[in-house]
């Protein structure tokens, strides 16, 4: 089991793009969601599938279990998705010794760009990159599960 500790931000502008190291196309969907747990399937680059179980209501730190599953099974499970399927491209961007994951959403969530920083360190606001906007850590409306079930938060779309 891994404990996931993250901060989440809206992205202010595209200046991060010149620093992007990797790009991963993702399709993800939820099979079960409650206030304290979720079951998600993610297909990366159309070639790898993972089942993820998350437990806990604190969006900043939750228990997480991940398992590779057969790609064919993942594609078949998509028929059981709750809400909308999330389509996004994840970019890895380094800044100040930390790795940020910048998700550029498409499809139903076109226009949303969110950055995540997963680290147990306390990173002060002065050390954050300029391209980050408002912090949305803990705002349930921006969780991927909420985006799948409820769509864009009112302030975004």
CATH no. for residue 101? 2.40.320.10
Residue 157 belongs to some domain of the structure: no
Per-residue pLDDT, averaged over 111-119, amounts to 93
Distances (CA, A) of 117 to 30, 53, 82, 93, 107: 22, 20, 27, 10, 24
In the predicted model, what is the mean pLDDT of the chain?
91
Residue 122 belongs to some domain of the structure: yes
Domain holding 15, by residue range, is 5-150
Q: How far apart are the first and last CA of the chain?
A: 35
Residue 155 belongs to some domain of the structure: no
Residue with tokens 């975004």: 156
Residue 136 belongs to some domain of the structure: yes
Catalytic residues: 30
For residue 121, the model assigns a pLDDT of: 77
Residue 29 belongs to some domain of the structure: yes
pLDDT tens for 25-67 read 999 999 999 988 999 999 999 999 999 998 886 656 678 899 9
Please give the share of the chain, as a percent, with pLDDT higher than 70.
92
Q: Which of 83, 109, 84, 103 is nearest to 26 (CA)?
A: 103
Residue with tokens 């931000």: 9
Residue 156 belongs to some domain of the structure: no
| Structural domain count, the chain | 1
Is the pLDDT at 4 greater than 80, yes or no?
no
Residue 20 belongs to some domain of the structure: yes
3-class secondary structure, 59: coil
């Amino acid at each position: 089991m891994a404990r996931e500790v993250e901060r989440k931000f809206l992205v202010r502008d595209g200046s991060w793009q010149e620093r992007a190291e990797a790009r991963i196309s993702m399709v993800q969907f939820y099979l079960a969601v409650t206030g304290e747990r979720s079951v998600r399937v993610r297909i990366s680059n159309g070639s790898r599938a993972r089942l993820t179980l998350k437990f806990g209501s604190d969006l900043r730190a939750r228990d997480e279990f991940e398992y590779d599953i057969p790609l064919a099974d993942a594609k078949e499970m998509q028929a059981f998705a709750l809400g909308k399927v999330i389509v996004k491209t994840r970019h890895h961007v380094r800044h100040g010794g930390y790795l940020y994951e910048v998700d550029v959403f498409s499809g139903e969530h076109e226009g949303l760009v969110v950055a995540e920083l997963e680290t147990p360190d306390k990173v002060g606001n002065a050390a954050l990159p300029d391209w980050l906007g408002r912090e949305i850590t803990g705002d349930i409306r921006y969780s991927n599960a909420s985006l799948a079930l409820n769509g864009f938060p009112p302030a975004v779309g």
